[in-house]
C-alpha cells in the first residue's frame, strides 16, 4: 500500500515543479530577445556569423643538397568581427635528402569572435637526411 502512495507522491511532485535547464557557454544575455538582437546586429554589418581560417603549409627538401624555403602569411580579419571565430595554423617542414635544407615560416591573423574564439596551431619539423637542416617558425595571432 505504501509503494503506490510514494509513486503517486513522486508523480505529483514531477507534475508540480516546472522544468528547468542549465545552459553553459555564450555571452551573459538578459533574454532570448537580446540574443536575437546580437545576431541581427552582426547580420546588419554584413559580417559572417561564423568564420574559420585554416592555414596549412608543407615544405619538403628531397634531393641531395637541395634547398626548400616557404613563407606563408594569412590575414582573415577584414574589419569584421563574427560571432564565432576559429583559426587553425599548421606547418610541416621536412629536410629528407642528405645535405638538404628546409625552411618554413607561417604567420596568420584572425579576428576575435563576439561569443567565442578558438586558435589552434601545430608544427612538425624534421631533419631526417644526413647533415640536413630544418628550420620552422609559426606565429598565430588573434585580435584583441
Partner 1 sequence: MRALLLPVAALALATGAGLTSPASAKAPEMGGVSITRGGGNVNTAAGRNSVADQAVSTIGGLARHGGRAVTLGGGNRNLALGKGSAAFQDVTTVGGTAIGRRAQSFTAGGHNLNVARGAFATAGQSVTTLGGTAIGRGAQSFVAGGHNRNVASGRFSEAQQQVLTMGGTAMGRGAVDKVFGGNNQNRATARGAFANQQVVTVGGQ
Applying CB under 8 A, among 9, 36, 54, 58 the residue interacting with partner 1 is 9
- Euclidean distance between CA atoms 36 and 116, whole angstroms: 17
Residue (of 2, 114, 1, 121) closest to 49 by Cα position: 114
Q: Which stretch binds partner 1 (CB under 8 A): 45-53, 59-67, 71-79, 112-120?
A: 112-120
Cell numbers linked to 111? 579576428
> Does residue number 36 form part of the binding site for partner 1 (CB under 8 A)?
no
- Contact status, residue 47 vs residue 80, Cβ threshold 8 Å: yes
> Does residue number 53 form part of the binding site for partner 1 (CB under 8 A)?
no
- Euclidean distance between CA atoms 65 and 11, whole angstroms: 80
Applying CB under 8 A, among 28, 44, 46, 79 the residue interacting with partner 1 is 28
DSSP state of 1: -
Cell numbers linked to 132? 640536413
Shortest separation between residue 59's beta carbon and partner 1, angstroms = 12
Q: Which stretch binds partner 1 (CB under 8 A): 15-23, 36-44, 53-61, 63-71?
A: 15-23
Residues that bind partner 1 (CB under 8 A): 1-2, 5, 8-9, 12-13, 15-31, 95, 98, 112-142, 144
Amino acid at each position: 500500500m505504501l509503494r503506490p502512495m510514494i509513486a503517486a507522491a513522486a508523480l505529483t511532485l514531477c507534475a508540480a515543479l516546472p522544468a528547468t535547464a542549465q545552459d553553459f557557454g555564450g555571452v551573459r544575455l538578459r533574454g532570448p530577445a537580446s540574443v536575437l538582437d546580437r545576431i541581427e546586429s552582426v547580420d546588419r554589418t554584413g559580417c559572417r556569423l561564423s568564420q574559420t581560417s585554416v592555414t596549412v603549409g608543407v615544405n619538403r627538401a628531397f634531393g641531395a643538397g637541395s634547398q626548400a624555403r616557404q613563407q606563408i602569411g594569412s590575414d582573415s580579419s577584414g574589419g569584421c568581427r563574427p560571432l564565432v571565430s576559429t583559426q587553425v595554423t599548421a606547418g610541416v617542414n621536412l629536410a629528407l635528402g642528405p645535405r638538404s635544407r628546409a625552411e618554413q615560416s607561417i604567420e596568420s591573423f584572425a579576428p576575435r569572435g563576439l561569443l567565442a574564439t578558438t586558435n589552434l596551431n601545430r608544427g612538425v619539423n624534421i631533419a631526417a637526411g644526413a647533415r640536413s637542416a630544418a628550420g620552422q617558425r609559426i606565429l598565430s595571432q588573434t585580435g584583441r
